[in-house]
Amino acid sequence: TALIEMRDVSFTYAQADRRALDQVSLSVGAGDFVGVIGPSGAGKSTLAAALSGAIPHHFTGELFGSTLVDGQDTCEVSLTDISHVVGSVLQDIDTQMVSSVVEDELLFGLENFGVAHDQIEGRLARALDTVAIPDLRKREIATLSGGQKQKVAIAAILALRPRVLVLDEPTAALDPASSKLVFETLRTINEDEGITVVVIEQKVALLSEYCRRILVMNEGRLALSGTPHEVFAHG
């Protein structure tokens, strides 16, 4: 059964003259690892915003259709409720992260989420272990590499135990080796923690190697969906 379902979703940002999403229908199964690709302006970030509830709860505009997350229509539940199911790592992690020290970044989210005090240390340590940065726990975020920062941002969301992790171009600022490490981390999260992953990514080689399914966005539409083999064989 689908963990995420979008039915005929169209969205136009306030003041924009064309649809950022145009009749998008898709479903993502529990445990899936989905990659989203497409040119700049295709609607990928808007799709991520719809999945995380930022649309309709944060962005204003004209919305048609429905997005169901774990069976709940994102229009009918609060952003807080949605965030217990879908965790998202924004494109600009420097604006998403609020603390100067790694462990504080994770603590901030856990405390904000109202996680019981006796669970906080366990969740924090496990999240850092999962993304393989337990040694960075006491480090200043500003001194970390781009790849390390990305892992901190992922760990901070992971600690909140969402069922779905949505990431908007986590490798955009990274070299090929760090990009691969981020995808290895996503694979661990998907396979070992059973978390559904939806990742916006431009690098075809990474999508081919790690994703089970690819969505191609173009001009707000879902242009193509299939296995990496099916999608990339189309050229």
Task: Kindly indicate which of the ranges 43-51, 102-110, 149-157, 222-230 contains the residues binding ligand ADP, using the contact rule CB under 6 A.
Answer: 43-51
- Long-range CB contact pairs, 78-83, < 8 A, 24+: 79/53, 79/54, 82/52, 82/53, 82/57, 83/52, 83/53, 83/160, 83/162
3-state secondary structure of 146: helix
Query: Which range in 44-52, 118-126, 149-157, 208-216 contacts ligand ADP by CB under 6 A?
Result: 44-52
Rounded distance, CA 91 to CA 133, Å? 21
- The residue among 35 and 103 lying less far from ligand ADP, judged by its C-beta, is 35
60 touches ligand ADP (CB under 6 A): no
Rounded distance between C-alpha atoms, residue 158 and residue 88, angstroms: 9
Q: How many residues does the chain have?
A: 235
Q: Does 130 bind ligand ADP (CB under 6 A)?
A: no
148 contributes a contact to ligand ADP by CB under 6 A: no
Within 133-193, strands assigned E span 164-168
What character string, x for contact with ligand ADP (CB under 6 A) and - otherwise, covers 73-112?
Answer: ------------------x---------------------
Identify the residue among 40, 95, 229, 235 touching ligand ADP (CB under 6 A).
40
Which CB sits closer to ligand ADP, 54 or 154? Answer: 54
For residues 155 to 194, the per-residue mask of contacts with ligand ADP, x marking binding by CB under 6 A and - elsewhere, is ----------------------------------------
Contacts for 223 with CB less than 8 Å, ≥ 6 apart: 38, 216, 217
d(CA 155, CA 106): 7
Give the footprint of ligand ADP on residues 19-38 (CB under 6 A): 20, 38
- Contacting residue, 4, 28, 46, 115, with ligand ADP by CB under 6 A: 46
Torsion from C-alpha of 39, 40, 41, 47, nearest 10 degrees: 80
User: Cβ-count burial of 40 within 10 angstroms (0-12 exposed, 13-18 middle, 19+ buried)?
Assistant: exposed
| List 43, 147, 162, 228, residue binding ligand ADP (CB under 6 A) | 43
With binding defined as CB under 6 A, does residue 13 bind ligand ADP? Answer: yes
- By CB under 6 A, tell whether 44 contacts ligand ADP: yes
Give me the residues that bind ligand ADP (CB under 6 A), please: 13, 16, 20, 38, 40-46, 91, 217
